[in-house]
Amino acid sequence: MERVLISGAAGFLGSNLCNKFLKEGFEVIGMDNFITGSPKNLSSFIAHPNFSFINQDVSEYISIKGSLDYILHFASPASPIDYLRIPIQTLKVGSLGTHNILGLAKAKQARVLIASTSEVYGDPLVHPQTEEYYGNVNPIGPRGVYDEAKRFQEALTMAYHNFHGLETRIVRIFNTYGPRMRLNDGRVIPAFMGQILRGEDLTVFGDGSQTRSFCYVDDQVEGIFKLLFSDYHLPVNIGNPVEISILDFAHEIIKLTQGQSKIVFKDLPVNDPLQRCPDITKAQKILNWNPKTDRKTGMKKTFEYFKSLSRDELYETTYKNFDKYIKK
Protein backbone atom coordinates (compact mmCIF):
# COMPACT_ATOMS: atom_id res chain seq x y z
CA MET A 1 0.00 0.00 0.00
CA GLU A 2 1.45 3.37 -1.03
CA ARG A 3 1.74 6.05 1.66
CA VAL A 4 0.88 9.72 1.19
CA LEU A 5 1.38 12.63 3.59
CA ILE A 6 -1.11 15.50 3.26
CA SER A 7 -0.30 18.74 5.11
CA GLY A 8 -3.25 21.00 5.86
CA ALA A 9 -5.35 17.84 6.22
CA ALA A 10 -7.99 19.49 8.40
CA GLY A 11 -8.60 22.28 5.91
CA PHE A 12 -11.19 22.53 3.16
CA LEU A 13 -9.12 21.09 0.30
CA GLY A 14 -6.83 18.99 2.47
CA SER A 15 -9.67 17.04 4.05
CA ASN A 16 -11.33 16.43 0.69
CA LEU A 17 -7.99 15.15 -0.62
CA CYS A 18 -7.71 12.78 2.35
CA ASN A 19 -11.10 11.35 1.39
CA LYS A 20 -9.99 10.91 -2.22
CA PHE A 21 -6.75 9.10 -1.40
CA LEU A 22 -8.39 6.82 1.16
CA LYS A 23 -11.03 5.85 -1.42
CA GLU A 24 -8.25 5.15 -3.92
CA GLY A 25 -6.62 2.69 -1.51
CA PHE A 26 -3.72 4.71 -0.11
CA GLU A 27 -2.45 4.86 3.44
CA VAL A 28 -2.92 8.53 4.38
CA ILE A 29 -1.04 10.51 7.01
CA GLY A 30 -2.72 13.82 7.74
CA MET A 31 -0.89 16.76 9.29
CA ASP A 32 -2.38 20.02 10.61
CA ASN A 33 -2.05 22.43 13.51
CA PHE A 34 -5.68 23.63 13.30
CA ILE A 35 -4.79 27.30 12.92
CA THR A 36 -7.43 27.53 10.18
CA GLY A 37 -8.43 23.88 9.78
CA SER A 38 -11.09 22.16 11.85
CA PRO A 39 -11.18 18.75 13.58
CA LYS A 40 -14.73 18.46 12.26
CA ASN A 41 -13.35 18.10 8.74
CA LEU A 42 -11.57 14.92 9.81
CA SER A 43 -14.60 13.32 11.42
CA SER A 44 -15.75 11.25 8.42
CA PHE A 45 -12.45 9.38 8.12
CA ILE A 46 -10.57 9.82 11.42
CA ALA A 47 -11.36 6.21 12.37
CA HIS A 48 -10.43 4.78 8.97
CA PRO A 49 -7.84 2.00 9.44
CA ASN A 50 -5.60 3.50 6.75
CA PHE A 51 -5.61 7.03 8.20
CA SER A 52 -3.37 8.49 10.88
CA PHE A 53 -3.00 12.08 12.07
CA ILE A 54 -0.14 14.26 13.31
CA ASN A 55 -0.95 17.53 15.07
CA GLN A 56 1.94 19.71 13.95
CA ASP A 57 2.90 23.01 12.35
CA VAL A 58 4.82 22.24 9.14
CA SER A 59 6.96 25.31 9.78
CA GLU A 60 8.63 23.24 12.51
CA TYR A 61 10.96 20.29 11.82
CA ILE A 62 9.07 17.29 10.38
CA SER A 63 9.90 13.66 11.11
CA ILE A 64 7.88 10.78 9.65
CA LYS A 65 8.64 7.15 10.44
CA GLY A 66 8.75 4.71 7.56
CA SER A 67 8.60 5.26 3.85
CA LEU A 68 6.62 7.88 1.94
CA ASP A 69 5.65 7.69 -1.71
CA TYR A 70 3.88 11.03 -2.11
CA ILE A 71 3.54 14.32 -0.25
CA LEU A 72 0.86 16.96 -0.89
CA HIS A 73 1.59 20.34 0.71
CA PHE A 74 -1.72 22.09 1.37
CA ALA A 75 -0.94 23.76 4.70
CA SER A 76 -1.54 27.50 4.46
CA PRO A 77 -4.06 30.18 5.34
CA ALA A 78 -5.99 30.67 2.11
CA SER A 79 -8.40 33.58 2.48
CA PRO A 80 -7.96 37.31 3.12
CA ILE A 81 -9.45 37.19 6.62
CA ASP A 82 -6.81 34.59 7.49
CA TYR A 83 -3.65 36.00 6.04
CA LEU A 84 -4.46 39.59 7.01
CA ARG A 85 -4.72 38.54 10.65
CA ILE A 86 -1.86 36.02 10.73
CA PRO A 87 0.57 37.44 8.15
CA ILE A 88 3.76 36.07 9.73
CA GLN A 89 2.37 32.54 9.89
CA THR A 90 1.28 32.84 6.26
CA LEU A 91 4.80 33.75 5.18
CA LYS A 92 6.36 31.05 7.37
CA VAL A 93 4.23 28.21 6.04
CA GLY A 94 4.99 29.23 2.46
CA SER A 95 8.73 29.46 3.11
CA LEU A 96 9.88 27.43 6.12
CA GLY A 97 6.98 25.00 5.80
CA THR A 98 7.65 24.40 2.13
CA HIS A 99 11.39 24.00 2.81
CA ASN A 100 10.61 21.35 5.44
CA ILE A 101 8.22 19.52 3.12
CA LEU A 102 10.70 19.52 0.23
CA GLY A 103 13.50 18.37 2.53
CA LEU A 104 11.32 15.51 3.75
CA ALA A 105 10.44 14.57 0.17
CA LYS A 106 14.14 14.51 -0.72
CA ALA A 107 14.99 12.33 2.29
CA LYS A 108 12.14 9.90 1.54
CA GLN A 109 12.59 10.04 -2.25
CA ALA A 110 8.90 10.91 -2.48
CA ARG A 111 7.10 12.80 -5.23
CA VAL A 112 5.75 16.07 -3.88
CA LEU A 113 2.86 18.23 -5.09
CA ILE A 114 2.79 21.86 -3.93
CA ALA A 115 -0.49 23.79 -3.69
CA SER A 116 0.02 27.17 -5.30
CA THR A 117 -2.72 29.62 -6.22
CA SER A 118 -4.14 31.96 -8.81
CA GLU A 119 -3.02 34.72 -6.44
CA VAL A 120 0.46 34.44 -7.97
CA TYR A 121 -1.06 36.38 -10.90
CA GLY A 122 -2.11 39.23 -8.57
CA ASP A 123 -4.49 41.72 -10.21
CA PRO A 124 -3.88 40.33 -13.71
CA LEU A 125 -3.28 42.39 -16.81
CA VAL A 126 -3.68 39.26 -18.97
CA HIS A 127 -7.05 37.57 -19.30
CA PRO A 128 -7.66 34.67 -18.96
CA GLN A 129 -4.51 33.80 -17.05
CA THR A 130 -2.10 31.32 -18.60
CA GLU A 131 0.71 29.60 -16.71
CA GLU A 132 3.26 31.64 -18.68
CA TYR A 133 1.95 34.95 -17.29
CA TYR A 134 4.29 36.33 -14.61
CA GLY A 135 1.59 38.27 -12.79
CA ASN A 136 0.94 41.77 -11.45
CA VAL A 137 1.57 41.53 -7.71
CA ASN A 138 2.10 44.23 -5.08
CA PRO A 139 4.63 42.60 -2.72
CA ILE A 140 3.99 45.05 0.13
CA GLY A 141 0.22 45.37 -0.26
CA PRO A 142 -2.30 43.77 2.12
CA ARG A 143 -2.43 40.58 0.03
CA GLY A 144 1.35 40.48 -0.48
CA VAL A 145 2.07 38.10 2.40
CA TYR A 146 0.02 35.38 0.71
CA ASP A 147 0.90 36.19 -2.90
CA GLU A 148 4.64 36.34 -2.27
CA ALA A 149 4.64 33.30 0.03
CA LYS A 150 3.15 31.28 -2.81
CA ARG A 151 5.49 32.75 -5.44
CA PHE A 152 8.49 31.93 -3.23
CA GLN A 153 7.05 28.46 -2.68
CA GLU A 154 6.99 27.86 -6.43
CA ALA A 155 10.56 29.14 -6.82
CA LEU A 156 11.84 26.92 -4.00
CA THR A 157 10.04 23.90 -5.43
CA MET A 158 11.59 24.44 -8.85
CA ALA A 159 15.02 24.85 -7.22
CA TYR A 160 14.65 21.45 -5.54
CA HIS A 161 13.52 19.97 -8.84
CA ASN A 162 16.36 21.44 -10.86
CA PHE A 163 19.19 21.12 -8.31
CA HIS A 164 18.27 17.91 -6.47
CA GLY A 165 16.29 16.16 -9.20
CA LEU A 166 13.27 15.93 -6.90
CA GLU A 167 10.00 14.83 -8.49
CA THR A 168 7.77 17.87 -8.05
CA ARG A 169 4.34 19.01 -9.20
CA ILE A 170 2.82 22.51 -8.85
CA VAL A 171 -0.91 23.17 -9.01
CA ARG A 172 -2.21 26.73 -9.29
CA ILE A 173 -5.63 26.57 -7.69
CA PHE A 174 -8.36 28.98 -8.78
CA ASN A 175 -11.46 29.77 -6.70
CA THR A 176 -12.78 26.49 -5.36
CA TYR A 177 -15.91 25.88 -3.28
CA GLY A 178 -17.94 23.10 -1.70
CA PRO A 179 -18.63 21.28 1.58
CA ARG A 180 -16.14 21.86 4.44
CA MET A 181 -15.48 25.48 3.53
CA ARG A 182 -15.33 27.66 6.61
CA LEU A 183 -18.38 29.88 6.69
CA ASN A 184 -16.47 32.83 8.16
CA ASP A 185 -13.37 32.70 5.95
CA GLY A 186 -14.19 35.91 4.10
CA ARG A 187 -14.43 34.53 0.57
CA VAL A 188 -17.41 35.42 -1.55
CA ILE A 189 -19.34 32.11 -1.58
CA PRO A 190 -19.39 31.44 2.18
CA ALA A 191 -19.84 35.18 2.78
CA PHE A 192 -22.97 35.37 0.60
CA MET A 193 -24.43 32.10 1.87
CA GLY A 194 -23.76 33.00 5.49
CA GLN A 195 -25.44 36.37 5.03
CA ILE A 196 -28.50 34.73 3.49
CA LEU A 197 -28.74 32.12 6.26
CA ARG A 198 -28.51 34.88 8.89
CA GLY A 199 -31.10 37.01 7.09
CA GLU A 200 -28.58 39.77 6.30
CA ASP A 201 -28.05 41.84 3.18
CA LEU A 202 -25.41 40.65 0.71
CA THR A 203 -22.24 42.76 0.66
CA VAL A 204 -20.80 43.52 -2.78
CA PHE A 205 -17.49 45.37 -2.93
CA GLY A 206 -17.00 48.05 -5.56
CA ASP A 207 -19.68 48.10 -8.23
CA GLY A 208 -19.67 44.30 -8.52
CA SER A 209 -18.23 44.28 -12.04
CA GLN A 210 -15.14 42.34 -10.93
CA THR A 211 -15.27 38.73 -12.10
CA ARG A 212 -14.54 35.33 -10.61
CA SER A 213 -14.79 31.74 -11.80
CA PHE A 214 -15.74 28.97 -9.38
CA CYS A 215 -14.65 25.33 -9.44
CA TYR A 216 -16.50 22.69 -7.42
CA VAL A 217 -14.27 20.86 -4.96
CA ASP A 218 -14.77 17.37 -6.46
CA ASP A 219 -13.52 18.64 -9.82
CA GLN A 220 -10.57 20.39 -8.19
CA VAL A 221 -9.56 17.26 -6.27
CA GLU A 222 -9.73 15.15 -9.42
CA GLY A 223 -7.51 17.63 -11.27
CA ILE A 224 -4.97 17.61 -8.43
CA PHE A 225 -4.99 13.81 -8.34
CA LYS A 226 -4.35 13.61 -12.07
CA LEU A 227 -1.55 16.16 -11.88
CA LEU A 228 0.23 14.23 -9.13
CA PHE A 229 0.37 11.14 -11.33
CA SER A 230 1.30 12.98 -14.50
CA ASP A 231 4.82 13.48 -15.84
CA TYR A 232 4.55 17.29 -15.91
CA HIS A 233 6.61 19.31 -13.42
CA LEU A 234 5.75 22.91 -14.37
CA PRO A 235 2.78 24.81 -12.88
CA VAL A 236 -0.71 23.85 -14.06
CA ASN A 237 -3.90 25.89 -13.61
CA ILE A 238 -6.82 23.93 -12.15
CA GLY A 239 -10.10 25.83 -12.07
CA ASN A 240 -13.37 26.39 -13.87
CA PRO A 241 -13.14 28.91 -16.76
CA VAL A 242 -16.84 29.85 -16.62
CA GLU A 243 -16.69 33.49 -15.52
CA ILE A 244 -19.31 35.62 -13.76
CA SER A 245 -19.37 39.12 -12.27
CA ILE A 246 -19.76 39.36 -8.50
CA LEU A 247 -22.96 41.40 -8.86
CA ASP A 248 -24.53 38.81 -11.18
CA PHE A 249 -23.37 36.10 -8.81
CA ALA A 250 -25.07 37.84 -5.88
CA HIS A 251 -28.37 37.86 -7.77
CA GLU A 252 -27.82 34.21 -8.73
CA ILE A 253 -27.26 33.18 -5.10
CA ILE A 254 -30.37 35.02 -3.91
CA LYS A 255 -32.45 33.26 -6.56
CA LEU A 256 -30.87 29.85 -5.96
CA THR A 257 -31.39 29.96 -2.19
CA GLN A 258 -34.79 31.68 -2.40
CA GLY A 259 -33.41 34.34 -0.07
CA GLN A 260 -34.95 37.72 0.67
CA SER A 261 -31.66 39.59 1.07
CA LYS A 262 -30.94 42.90 -0.60
CA ILE A 263 -27.58 43.87 -2.06
CA VAL A 264 -25.49 46.61 -0.43
CA PHE A 265 -22.26 48.06 -1.83
CA LYS A 266 -18.99 48.82 -0.01
CA ASP A 267 -15.61 50.13 -1.13
CA LEU A 268 -13.40 47.71 -3.05
CA PRO A 269 -10.50 46.39 -0.91
CA VAL A 270 -6.95 47.39 -1.87
CA ASN A 271 -5.42 45.22 -4.63
CA ASP A 272 -8.58 43.12 -4.96
CA PRO A 273 -8.27 41.44 -8.39
CA LEU A 274 -10.71 42.81 -10.96
CA GLN A 275 -10.58 39.66 -13.10
CA ARG A 276 -9.85 36.07 -12.22
CA CYS A 277 -10.32 33.31 -14.77
CA PRO A 278 -8.02 30.37 -15.63
CA ASP A 279 -6.80 29.28 -19.00
CA ILE A 280 -6.99 25.50 -18.51
CA THR A 281 -5.57 24.46 -21.90
CA LYS A 282 -2.62 22.71 -20.23
CA ALA A 283 -4.85 20.75 -17.85
CA GLN A 284 -7.06 19.71 -20.74
CA LYS A 285 -4.17 18.56 -22.93
CA ILE A 286 -1.77 17.13 -20.36
CA LEU A 287 -4.19 15.72 -17.79
CA ASN A 288 -7.27 15.15 -19.94
CA TRP A 289 -9.12 17.10 -17.25
CA ASN A 290 -12.17 19.32 -17.43
CA PRO A 291 -14.50 20.49 -14.64
CA LYS A 292 -17.75 18.52 -14.76
CA THR A 293 -19.94 20.16 -12.10
CA ASP A 294 -22.05 23.09 -13.27
CA ARG A 295 -22.32 26.05 -10.91
CA LYS A 296 -26.01 25.55 -10.07
CA THR A 297 -25.48 21.95 -8.99
CA GLY A 298 -22.35 22.75 -7.00
CA MET A 299 -23.92 25.75 -5.27
CA LYS A 300 -26.95 23.70 -4.21
CA LYS A 301 -24.69 21.09 -2.58
CA THR A 302 -22.66 23.80 -0.88
CA PHE A 303 -25.71 25.61 0.43
CA GLU A 304 -27.09 22.37 1.87
CA TYR A 305 -23.81 21.91 3.71
CA PHE A 306 -23.93 25.42 5.18
CA LYS A 307 -27.56 24.92 6.19
CA SER A 308 -26.47 21.92 8.28
CA LEU A 309 -24.13 24.00 10.45
CA SER A 310 -24.96 24.76 14.06
CA ARG A 311 -26.14 28.18 15.19
CA ASP A 312 -22.75 28.84 16.81
CA GLU A 313 -20.97 28.08 13.54
CA LEU A 314 -23.42 30.24 11.62
CA TYR A 315 -22.78 33.30 13.79
CA GLU A 316 -19.07 32.79 14.45
CA THR A 317 -17.22 35.83 13.08
CA THR A 318 -13.61 35.04 14.03
CA TYR A 319 -11.73 31.80 14.05
CA LYS A 320 -11.10 30.70 17.64
CA ASN A 321 -7.69 29.14 16.99
CA PHE A 322 -6.19 32.38 15.64
CA ASP A 323 -5.64 33.98 19.03
CA LYS A 324 -2.92 31.67 20.32
CA TYR A 325 -0.87 32.33 17.17
CA ILE A 326 -1.21 36.11 16.96
CA LYS A 327 1.77 36.96 19.22
CA LYS A 328 4.14 34.33 17.81
Name 237's bridge partners: 172
Q: How many angstroms from the chain centroid is the CA of residue 177?
A: 9
CA-to-CA distance for 174 and 229, rounded, in angstroms?
20
Q: How many angstroms from the chain centroid is the CA of residue 60?
A: 21
300: left (phi over 0), alpha (psi -120 to 50) or beta: alpha
Asked if residues 253 and 299 have their Cβ atoms less than 8 Å apart, the reply is yes
CA-to-CA distance for 221 and 80, rounded, in angstroms?
22
228 residue type, one letter: L
List of E strands, 174-310: 176-177, 202-205, 211-213, 215-216, 236-238, 243-245, 263-266
* Element containing residue 26 per DSSP (H, E): none
Catalytic annotation on 61? no
CA-to-CA distance for 219 and 292, rounded, in angstroms?
7
List of E strands, 132-209: 168-173, 176-177, 202-205
Q: Which of 70, 83, 121, 146 is catalytic?
A: 146
Asked if residues 4 and 73 have their Cβ atoms less than 8 Å apart, the reply is no
Contacts of 35 (CB under 8 A, 6+ apart): 57, 77, 86, 89, 321, 322, 325
CA-to-CA distance for 164 and 172, rounded, in angstroms?
22
By C-alpha distance, which of 17, 135, 245 is closest to 6? 17
Mark out the alpha helices in 165-245 (DSSP H runs): 188-197, 217-228
Would you please indicate which residues are annotated as catalytic (active-site) residues? 146
